Amino acid sequence: MPTKTVKPKPVRPKRGSINKKLIMDTSALMFHEKGYDRTTLDDIAGALSITKPSLYYHFANKEEILLACVFSADDYFREEIARRDDESYTGRKRVEVFLRLYLEVITHDIGVSMILADDRVMSEEGRTRYNDLRRVMNEALEGRIKAGVTDGSIHVPETKLTTYAIFGMFNWVGHWHFRKSSTSLEKVFDRFISVIFDGIG
């Protein structure tokens, strides 16, 4: 996935070149830079140098754009975790594989929408779809932690709150202007993994 972030500017597309992916890329960047609530369809249309009716040809509303970004990132995550993970690994190794990919996804402009999405401002249908996705992600991580407890590679007294705590730590990275920082993704990952498994000391 691309890692470069730039300030949103009008892209002045060629006639007929607007498509869903371009709208999603531009919108996700603006959601990250300005915040979802403060980004309007007029802002997105202006950044693309098109009219708002042109956006409606592809998406019914702003929430639909956000959810398209979220599920695009989720599709990528599912494809990559199927490729990188292996049930023969220890539970701890599987947790590390999961979290390394998750960090990669949520520090990408499309993927960060998974973190910036706020179900409190969604429609009932949107809230249900988003919360179902988060539930599956939670179960996937907790399942790997449980496997680690079983095989002895992870030592925690329980798994559900541990899962919430880990996601809380990693999700906050999505609120950083990450690629404006000199801190590498690997350094963040290594430090977080150290805190999770070895403690702060």
Q: Which of 185, 182, 39 is nearest to 106 (CA)?
A: 185
Ramachandran area for residue 71 (φ above 0: left; ψ -120 to 50: alpha; else beta):
alpha
Domains in the chain (CATH in brackets) are: 67-198 (1.10.357.10)
Residues of the chain with pLDDT under 50: 2-13, 15
Q: What is the mean pLDDT of the chain?
A: 89
Beta carbons of 170 and 192 less than 8 angstroms apart: yes
pLDDT of residue 118: 87
Tell me how far the alpha carbon of residue 192 is from its chain's centroid: 17
* Cβ-proximal residues to 189 (8 Å cutoff; 6+ apart), any chain: 99, 100, 103
Q: Encode pLDDT of 130-141 as tens digits.
A: 999 999 999 999
DSSP symbol at 117: -
